Structure 1
Amino acid sequence: MKHILLITTRDQGGIIYAVSKILYEFGLNIEKNDEFVDKERGLFFMRTEIGEANKKFDREGVLAGLHDVLGKEASITLKQAQKKSLLILATKENHCLGDLLLRYESGELNAHIQAVIANHDTLANLVERFHIPFHCVSSLEFDQNLGRAAHEEQIAHIIDSYAPDVIALAKYMRILSPAFVARYFGKMINIHHSFLPAFIGANPYKQAYQRGVKIIGATAHFVTQDLDEGPIITQDITKIDHTYSWQDMQKAGRDIEKSVFAHALDLVLHDRVFINQNKTIIF
């Protein structure tokens, strides 16, 4: 059984030696190690893949030993390297959701998709083909009668019933309240086109076509209370030219969105991402 050790601590001399010594004393073998020092903040980040030399080990003893040498304020996580639970939020667009469902069916996702929640029923048939629970919480119904807070509370109730490790916003076209974001901070990952903030509102690809842009991109990021400004996980672009219609641009953009989103989720699902203020460290 493989384990993943994640450490964020104040930078100081001898950290790698001290950590390695503790792991060795508990019969654990380092199979892969990555580290980074943020010199501006004086922080040390470390991700270690560990193989067990023995079938059982004293996990709490390892954590106590690491805190003894690194300090009680150090952030230390030691977990089994296993598939995480994933819940997806969606609206009407099917390209990112469909791509994740296909990757899931083929075994490419390091996750178990627990359910899909959407604020329209448009994608119900797609999701049910993969034998995954689908929940529709109509935003229109709540907006007209009960309001935004009630709508989010109903969604939160469903999310909490599954208790997912990660929440993927697969083109979920709703602005989330600060309270909702805080409730799942560090768990929610969003994907959007990289025209922001230049082309916002309806049909950004038509706006970009009218402006004559020469590249199309996508950005995957953690969701924070600052709209579309959370720590970036992955980005990519593709070049286009004057021969592209806005429909061609939209197709190219959706292809980029799918690949960027899947890559970002893969990194998070394998515990390769550290949040460092409004940036990320990727191992």
Structure 2
Amino acid sequence: MHPEYILTLSCPDQRGIVHRVSGFLAQHDCNIIDSAQFGDADSRLFFMRVHFASENPALPDATLRSEFAQLASSLGMNAQLHDARRKPRVLLMVSKIGHCLNDLLFRYKSGLLPVEIPAIVSNHMDFYQLAASYNIPFHHLPLAAGASTQAKQEQEQRLLDIIDTQQIELVVLARYMQVLSPTLCRALQGRAINIHHSFLPSFKGARPYLQAHDRGVKLIGATAHFVTGELDEGPIIEQDVERVDHAMDPDTLTAIGRDVECVVLARAVKWFVEHRILLDGHKTVVFK
């Protein structure tokens, strides 16, 4: 089998980018499997994702990378070249609500999610048996209510140690109900995804589905976004909604909402590990 790569890039928009990239690949005996591109008229940036196979066995990986780096430099590109067959290492974080964790683990075990999961982190012990059933190490990092700033810093440092030791590429907050410090958010910039348990920004805080029920909403949903220091304000990756009506009680809304959360978060994680998401300022470009 030929080695396969996924190239992602962004750069100032200009004529000839696709020609230069495809020409480089052709000159290096690479065959394009699929390609997508987008020019943002507002930011004047160009985004591209190319999945290709290197069909020259005499072309070393290091040579391909170094020579493309020269092209990228000449065009002012922010470019990454990924091994398409390598499974990224993902850390899952959870508190006491486990539907998203359970869904991601099932997709991982079933081969639907091409990742490695070397660790699960929680501030509670509720899901250590679930982790054990998948033979995944479970790290309990407790944080008492009203914990001091020092205690929170120590807990987050333990988390960063796990991320570093396990060479984690993506952190998924699968209903991890703790606010991350600005320092931790900066350390995880562009590689931490959260699921926001509502499509409705007016219903923030505790029990959003009860608030939605009290207001008689007709749509509920969920939002997956990158984690930033601004709570629930990070670049949005994916959203979805379900229609509801007056006959549904809060428990029914909660059940429907949790199903949407699972699907939205799973899509976001899958797109990330398939290198389909590119940051565009406060927005994202997602090549599906």
TM over 0.5: yes
Change in Cα spacing, 1:235 to 1:79, as seen in structure 2 (3 Å) is same
1:253 to 250, 254, 257: 257
CA contact (8 A) 1:142 1:148 kept: no
Counterparts of 2:146 and 2:111 in 1: how far apart (Å)? 36
Q: Does the CA contact (< 8 Å) of 2:122 and 2:140 recur in 1?
A: yes
Given candidates 51, 54, 63, the residue that maps to 1:49 is 51
Please name the residue that 1:38 is paired with.
40
- Hey, what does 1:17 align to over in structure 2? 19
User: SS of the counterpart of 1:150?
Assistant: helix
Q: 1:67 to 1:203 in 2, by over 3 A?
A: same
TM-superposed CA distance for 1:72, in Å, is 6.2
| Aligned residue in 1 for 2:183 | 179
Instruction: List runs of 5+ in structure 2 lacking aligned partners.
Output: none
Q: Which runs of 5+ in 1 are unaligned?
A: none
Q: Do the aligned residues in 1 keep the contact of 2:198 with 2:208 (CA within 8 Å)?
A: no
TM-score norm. by structure 1 comes to: 0.95
Of 136-145 and 160-169, more deviation after overlay is shown by 136-145
Contact 1:205 1:249 in 2 (8 A): yes
Alpha carbons of structure 1 residues 3 and 177: separation in structure 2 relative to 1, 3 Å? same
Partners of 2:66 and 2:44 lie apart in 1 by: 23
- In the alignment, which residue of structure 2 is the partner of 1:266? 270
**How far is 1:11 from its partner?**
1.4
CA contact (8 A) 2:30 2:53 kept: yes
Which residue is 1:156 aligned to? 160
1:195 deviation in Å? Answer: 4.5
How many residues were matched structurally?
283
Q: 2:128 aligns with which of 116, 119, 124?
A: 124
How many Å separate the matches in 2 of 1:205 and 1:268? 28
Q: Which AA in structure 2 matches 1:182?
A: R
Amino acid at match of 1:275: L
Equivalences for 1:80-229 in 2 at 5 Å? 80-81=83-84, 82-140=86-144, 143=147, 146-229=150-233
Deviation at 1:69, TM superposition (A): 4.1
Normalising by structure 2, what TM-score?
0.93
State the shift of 1:115 in Å: 0.8
Partner deviation per Cα, 1:98-134 (whole Å, 9 max, x = no partner): 0011111111111011110000001111111111110
What is the alpha-carbon root mean square deviation over aligned residues? 1.8
Aligned amino acid, residue 209 of structure 1? H
CA contact (8 A) 1:142 1:150 kept: no
